[in-house]
Structure 1
Amino acid sequence: MKRMIPFLFALLLLTGCGGNTADGSYQQITQEEAKERMDNQEVIVLDVREQDEYDSGHIPGAVLLPAGTIDEDTAAEVIPEKDSTVLVYCRSGNRSKTASSILAELGYTNIYEFGGINTWPYETEP
């Protein structure tokens, strides 16, 4: 039983990382789900890489907000409504998770993280 406690604790922590945004978290979705939302809903596509990365290619219509610059003011400039649907990506999926957590902590309620552009199978633009 003592060996099960660390496992159960880790499982509990992992279950709290995604899912419901009502508790200040964000949802992780697939790139296919992100593309479907882009095609069928009004969304803000948020690229949280650096300027030079964005300039080398990004998802059409994406807005740049580097992960390291996100605070209440910079987020409000790009995402004026806290209930806007925001789809967040970076290069490989690490910074987008961090950025999504920060946005959720700032009170944004519809944050969807979908990984990195390095595996994005759809169109990009310079």
Structure 2
Amino acid sequence: MKRIVILLSSLLLLLTGCGGNTSDSSYEQITQEAAKEMMDTQEVIILDVREQDEYDSGHIPSAVLLPVGMIDEDTAAKVIPEKDSTVLVYCRSGNRSKTASAALADLGYTNIYEFGGINTWPYETEP
């Protein structure tokens, strides 16, 4: 009987502890190559979550600025009016974009793709 309890407890821990992003509010992390392919082949919103001065120093063409610290229901709705829009999120190195992606997912946005930072972006940028 003791073995069964231990086995069931272990199984329960495995099922709950290794879930990763299984909640309704999640985003998908993709490669920069996949992000570029999406930009080239479908309608997307490219979201730069750095600060204004960073954005002004260079950004991905067509990117819209929404600093991570300013993301809330109102500011997100101005930039992303439809909750099911495809949104590609980046920052400088990939840390803020993860935070921003999680915040957007928590606000109910359903097609969020985080692709890291512009410091390793091998494609075109503009001032």
**TM-score for the superposition, normalised by structure 2:** 0.85
Structure 1: gaps (5+ residues): none
User: What is the Cα deviation at residue 55 of structure 1?
Assistant: 0.1
User: What is the Cα deviation at residue 16 of structure 1?
Assistant: 1.4
Could you tell me which amino acid in structure 2 is paired with residue 52 of structure 1? D
Tell me the equivalent position of 2:33: 32
The alignment-based identity, stated in percent, is 81
- Could you say what secondary structure the match of 1:36 adopts? helix
Hey, what's the Cα distance between the residues in 2 that align with 1:65 and 1:27?
Answer: 19
**TM-score for the superposition, normalised by structure 1:** 0.86
Could you tell me which amino acid in structure 2 is paired with residue 87 of structure 1? L
User: What is the Cα deviation at residue 45 of structure 1?
Assistant: 0.1
Could you tell me which amino acid in structure 2 is paired with residue 16 of structure 1? G
Hey, what's the Cα distance between the residues in 1 that align with 2:56 and 2:99?
Answer: 21
Structure 2: gaps (5+ residues): 1-5
Pairing 1:12-27 to 2, within 5 Å after superposition: 12=18, 15-17=19-21, 23-27=24-28
Structure 1: 4+ residue segments shifted above 2 A = none
- Could you say what secondary structure the match of 1:121 adopts? coil
Tell me the equivalent position of 2:3: none
Pairing 1:94-113 to 2, within 5 Å after superposition: 94-113=95-114
Q: Does 1:71 align with 2:75?
A: no
User: What is the Cα deviation at residue 54 of structure 1?
Assistant: 0.1
Structure with larger Rg: 2
Deviation string 1:9-55 (CA, Å, 9 cap, x unpaired) is 9x61xx514xx6x7210000000000000000000000000000000
Hey, what's the Cα distance between the residues in 2 that align with 1:67 and 1:23?
Answer: 21
- Could you say what secondary structure the match of 2:119 adopts? helix
Hey, what's the Cα distance between the residues in 1 that align with 2:39 and 2:114?
Answer: 13
Hey, what's the Cα distance between the residues in 1 that align with 2:26 and 2:38?
Answer: 19
- Could you say what secondary structure the match of 1:114 adopts? strand
Q: Does 1:53 align with 2:54?
A: yes
